[in-house]
Amino acid sequence: MARIFITGSADGLGRMAAQRLVAQGHRVVLHARSETRAAEAMAAVPGAETAVAGDLGSLELIRYVARQVNHLGQFDAVIHNAAIGYRESKRVLNEDGLCQLFVINTLAPYLLTALIQRPRRLIYLSSGLHRSGDATLADLNWEQRRWQGQQAYSDSKLHDALLSAAVARRWPDVLSNAVEPGWVATRMGGPTAPDNLEAGAETQVWLAVSEEAAALVSGRYFHHKALRTAAPAVDDPDLQDRLLAACAHYTGFALPAP
């Protein structure tokens, strides 16, 4: 039996993954942006251990979520699922003066990775749109560019794949992988999304707990439990290190050494 923490598990793929893991007999801790949503998450995933609350659009609250998780003890796996989507029509700033989409989709998984006690496995949800992400890593906070919601989302999903690969390289004792769940009919994906919703949740569950040899790898990119080639930028160590440095700059916290 494994113990797994899943960000953004009040609905969508995060909730589906939590339900499957609980059904398999694993201990699951949920996450939602508020106490109200956390209670809703617990009601939707009977058998979950508990839920922590904190809006990942705030650096202070990201740190608060990490403290709550560490207080609960050691986890075998963390699934970084929380994100906002490409339909964001304008650049919204958070209390730190940072672009909210950048904070939730990029800085939150980075900072939680840096602050939570190191698990055995880390799973980061990326997207096929990462292939359209800006690999120059210029203007991460969207201060110079004219806002484009889909481009901002694509950039952030490239960041998640880069982060997964960087952690795999930096922490050889951790299995760190990225997942492309497909365009599925969640609240983010919309009702007309054509991909298989059930399969969309399966890969992160498999990577979190499976003892199959195919799941016991690191630094890979998966789609529906099969290896898929990521954008070439993802495997660039220099680009990985530049992203880590930028995230450390924005959060004030560097990724710990191995």
- Residues, the chain, total? 258
Which run of H or E residues covers position 178?
A: strand 175-179
Out of 124, 157, 221, 250, the active site residue is 157
14: Cα separation from own chain's centroid: 10
Q: Which two tokens stand for residue 228?
A: 């898929």
Please compute, for residue 139, the number of CA atoms within 13 A of its CA located in the half-sphere on the CB side: 12
CA pair distance 229, 218, nearest whole angstrom: 14
Residue with tokens 């991460």: 140
The set of long-range contacts for 202-206, using a CB threshold of 8 Å and a minimum separation of 24, is: 202/20, 203/179, 204/13, 204/17, 204/79, 204/81, 204/123, 204/125, 204/179, 205/17, 205/20, 205/21, 205/24
Check if 90 is active-site.
no
Phi and psi for 35 in degrees, rounded to 5? -60, -40
Check if 221 is active-site.
no
Q: Burial letters for 34-53: b for 16+ Cβ neighbours within 10 Å, e otherwise?
A: eeebbebbbebbeebbebbb
Out of 110, 153, 221, 250, the active site residue is 153
**Beta carbons of 169 and 241 less than 8 angstroms apart:** no
Q: Which residues are annotated as catalytic?
A: 153, 157
